[in-house]
Amino acid sequence: MTRFINKFILTVLCLSFAAFAFAAGQAASQKEVLQNFAAWDHKLESLKIDFSQTTGFEGTEISSSRGRLYKSGNKIRLDTLENGKVVQSAVTDKKIIRVFDGKGKAVTSLSWQEWLEGQPNKALFDFGNYEKVLKTHKVKSFESTAKGYKVTFEPADASDGGYLLEFALSKDCFPSAISVSNQGVKTETVLKDINKNVKLDKGLFK
């Protein structure tokens, strides 16, 4: 009987240790993913991507758009596309942003920060600033997926509002989709044809 009790206690301890080890492994995985995610702030020298963006309210689509984004250091060019053609371009050095029509004619200019504040999905245009995301947000949920990882953040400061910021990350912890949800409104951006650290024509940013 004593041998049975000792064996039972040992089994319980082993199971408890296994559960603890699994939980610790999850925590380590999350930490590693977040570190690799933020590391792109320093590893990303240039970027060229196509994207599609949709905004909906409680599941009903309100608007959609397509575009192409180029980035080299602090220089960014955003082309808005319709039927595969550029209908508007915005070029910035993250100080002043200049907007052009599809023929390259200047339309307007404004401060980068002023323009950024008007965007429903700021995280799309602020590549290279994800360390700030980790400092100003806390993780609400984290999970591994077949294609990589999904991380949902919420503001660390409750006074910043109740929005959720979600990243779908590829295996190398680079975003493949970004969404922002707040009070039933969700803006989701899906990134396509992601080309990291490629040579870009300097003329794109003039």
Average pLDDT, the chain: 86
Residues 6+ apart with CB under 8 A from 141: 150, 151, 152
Sole residue written with tokens 């404004």? 110
Residues 6+ apart with CB under 8 A from 184: 57, 58
Kindly report, residue by residue over 116-150, the tens digit of the pLDDT: 888 888 888 888 889 999 999 999 999 999 999 99
What is the pLDDT averaged over residues 17-34?
Answer: 57
Contact 69, 118 (CB under 8 A): no
65 closest CA partner among 47, 83, 92:
83
Rounded to the nearest 5 degrees, what angle is found at the Cα of 196, between the Cα atoms of 122 and 153?
35
Q: What is the CATH number of domain 2-205?
A: 2.50.20.10
Where residue 59 falls among pLDDT bands split at 50, 70, 90? Answer: confident
Which residues partner with 138 through β-bridges? 154
